[in-house]
A and B are shown apart, each in its own frame.
Chain A
Amino acid sequence: MPKVVIDGREMDVAPGTTILQAALARGNEIPHYCYHPGLSIAGNCRMCLVEVEKQPKLVIGCYTPVAEGMVVHTASAKVQTARAAMMEFFLINHPLDCPICDQAGECRLQEYAVEYGDGKSRYTEPKLALAKAVDIGPHVLLDQERCIQCSRCIRFCDEVTRTGELGFFQRGERTQIGIFPGKRLDNAYSGNVVDICPVGALTLKEFRFKTRVWYLKNTPTICAGCARGCNVVVGVGQQQTMMTTRGQQDDRVKRIVPRVNEEVNGHWICDEGRMSYRREQEAVRLTDARVGGDGVPYDDAVAAAATRLHAAASQGRLGAIVSPRLTCEDLFAWKAVLASLGGASFAVREIVRGEDDALLIRADKGANSRGAEWVLGAAGREAEIAGKVSTVLVAGDTLDPADTATLARAGVEVIFVGPFVSGAAENAAVAIPSASWSEADGTYVNFQGRVQRVRRCHLPLGEARPGWRVAADLAQAAGVRAPSWTSAEEVLADLAAAVPAFAGLDPESVGLLGVGR
């Protein structure tokens, strides 16, 4: 293990570690643009220049492996001069777009200019004028003037998606990012280039001008798009203006970005997952409870539902079709409560589309299919249930609406507990709103058997409550033994005691990166 001294402190590092990696691992920032841990090394931005004793020139930290006895200074006078020089070079052709640029607040040019720049520019020549706000794909806009030619986006398309849409065109000062005329940046992961662009050259259409990033309340959670459960950060808008009213609904998801988890999704998420919040926002929410189609107070609907579920269960004619997007807590709650009511035949909806791809996407769109397997054990299929029951509980989102018309025609009574108005809610005898994916804490188990934490990112809309809460309320209303849960954590505690696969788990032990089981 080579011993290296960085800024006067000695450290042991694994052979092959670069100066930059060693410094970052120790929390010692060396500014950089083009280096990205998920991509090959380019070494072109020159921002990470550091001083190594006995070397005639400054060296780039991102590419230089540490050697035994190396002595590195990351903030010497020479390094500071070089950093200020690089910042000046970066800014001479860069447009003063900050007031209209989405990147503001998470822009490395801004941060490093403040931290390492001279504070004023000596450049008085005309700036290069290039194309701005170019629509290059379904999700991505390109501003060629803002680009600092770090090549991260090109490397992403070459190395990760292997689709090669982006390239450098022209030469020298006129070098610009571009896409072949007529082609589109439309691979399934195109949005990642926006995340990795250190400046505002690549921005997301769906986020454009929506909010400033410093107004976002960020919550680490898990994407509900498929069985991989990519780790994400959900940003909820929190516009702090005097004019915010309830009707404006500012407390809404504005964007989803990936979180690093080397075991699950590396540094990336797919576009469908990134946009999944929009599908939810575009769907019509069930915000109040209904009986027979008419709005009623929550408690009335719960009472009506409890009666019907109890009656059907005691005759052995109760079915339950649950969504594979329900959290383990919700699924466990339904299992426990319906058992208390007299039992039910469970089916887990199968949401499969397309095929697994070579990167992240799973054909199984049930984010918690595995969790459903572990919590419920073997469950039947939807079709088998229809003929055997008089009443069915449909629980969870049905963005792809269940064909409950079939159930209705067969005379089966539907009790719906879910976030969206859809075919199921419309045909239901009783419809009770429950929290959507971004509105409640819980756990998912991904296809790898990894238990991960889903977090509440904002308050539920209207009368919606977490599914496990509704289940507990139903048990209470039915007069059977009702669980006394007051939080998802308490549900998980009971689940961990009841199902061996979850033994010993609590929110803290699952943590930010999940636990493989």
Chain B
Amino acid sequence: MTAELEARVDAIVARYPQPKAALLPVLWEAQRARGFVDLEAEEWIARRLGVSASHVHGCVTFYTMYKQKPSGRHHVQVCTTLSCMLRGSDELLAHLERKLGIREGETTPDGKFSLVRVECLGSCGTAPMFQLNDDYHENLTLEKVDRLLESLP
């Protein structure tokens, strides 16, 4: 925990009437710093916010976006809920599995790509789509996907 990170945590805590409410934003800060949230960070956060370590772990494991171990450099999250399914998300996912050489839920051995299936991302009008790290890539075709993958460092 760096001094800078601690200062950011203090600023976040100040936005709420009780420190526990800062938990989700602080977990985001921890994940931003390292790419994932490890047990040591959970314990630090627990002490800082005055909650038990089990409480923090309970939240990390409840919310799907917190990662307990690093994902690939390019984390591909494919939406497969109904509207995306109707517009080919399953074919898209299968294509990605073939292209990347991994199954859904896995990371490539070189750590470059990870692939997961996620629920509705609120982009049904531009289906099929996926979220790559923070960014939405919408109105996908298999060709667009291939070009995008090639362009990634």
Contacts and interface: CB of A to CB of B under 8 A. Distances in A.
B54 A183 contact: yes
A180 B53 contact: yes
A178 B64 CA distance: 18
A165 B58 CA distance: 11
A508 B116 CA distance: 69
Contact of A164 (B42, B43, B55, B64): B55
Interface stretch (A44-52, A168-176, A332-340): A168-176
Contacts of A171: 61-62, 64
A13 to B, nearest CB: 35
B116 to A, nearest CB: 15
B117 interface: no
Contact of A167 (B39, B43, B57, B64): B57
Contacts of A164: 51-52, 54-55
Contact of B58 (A163, A169, A183): A169
Interface in A141-175: 158, 163-171
Nearest to B42: A180
A181 B42 CA distance: 11
Contacts of A183: 53-54
Contacts of A247: none
A164 B64 CA distance: 23
B52 A165 contact: yes
Interface size class of A (residues with CB under 8 A): 10 to 19
Interface in B34-84: 39, 42-43, 51-55, 57-58, 61-62, 64
A180 B54 contact: yes
A168 B39 contact: no
Interface string A173-210: 00000111111000000000000000000000000000
A299 to B, nearest CB: 61
A171 B39 CA distance: 19
A189 to B, nearest CB: 16
Interface of A is mostly: loop
B52 to A, nearest CB: 3
A387 to B, nearest CB: 54
B62 A179 contact: no
Given A181-B39, A182-B39, A166 B54 contact: yes
A173 to B, nearest CB: 13
A169 B39 contact: no
A178 B54 CA distance: 8
A179 B54 contact: yes
Interface string B15-44: 000000000000000000000000100110
A180 B57 contact: yes
Nearest to A183: B53
Contacts of A182: 39
B62 A170 contact: yes
A24 B52 CA distance: 35
A168 B51 CA distance: 14
Contacts of B62: 168-171
A165 B53 CA distance: 8
A515 B62 CA distance: 49
Contact of A169 (B43, B52, B61): B61
A170 B54 CA distance: 12
A421 to B, nearest CB: 44
A171 B64 CA distance: 9
A119 to B, nearest CB: 36
Q: Which residue, A163, A164, A165, A182, has most C-beta atoms of chain B within 10 A? A: A164
Contacts of A167: 52, 54-55, 57-58
Contacts of B51: 164
Contacts of B43: 180
A179 to B, nearest CB: 6
A165 B54 contact: yes
A124 B13 CA distance: 49
A276 B105 CA distance: 50
Interface string A419-453: 00000000000000000000000000000000000
Contacts of B58: 167-169
Nearest to A158: B52
A360 B37 CA distance: 38
A128 to B, nearest CB: 16
Nearest to A163: B52
A120 B62 CA distance: 33
A98 to B, nearest CB: 29
Nearest to A170: B61
Contacts of B64: 171
A179 B52 CA distance: 10
Nearest to A185: B54
A289 to B, nearest CB: 54
Q: Which residue, B42, B43, B51, B57, has most C-beta atoms of chain A within 10 A? A: B57
B22 to A, nearest CB: 18
14 contacts: A158-B52, A164-B51, A164-B55, A167-B52, A167-B54, A167-B55, A169-B61, A170-B61, A171-B61, A171-B62, A178-B54, A179-B54, A180-B54, A180-B57
Given A163-B52, A164-B51, A165-B54, 8 more contacts: A158-B52, A164-B52, A166-B54, A167-B52, A167-B54, A171-B62, A171-B64, A180-B57
8 interchain residue pairs of minimum CB distance: A164-B52, A167-B54, A167-B58, A180-B53, A169-B61, A180-B54, A171-B62, A170-B61
Interface of A: 158, 163-171, 178-183
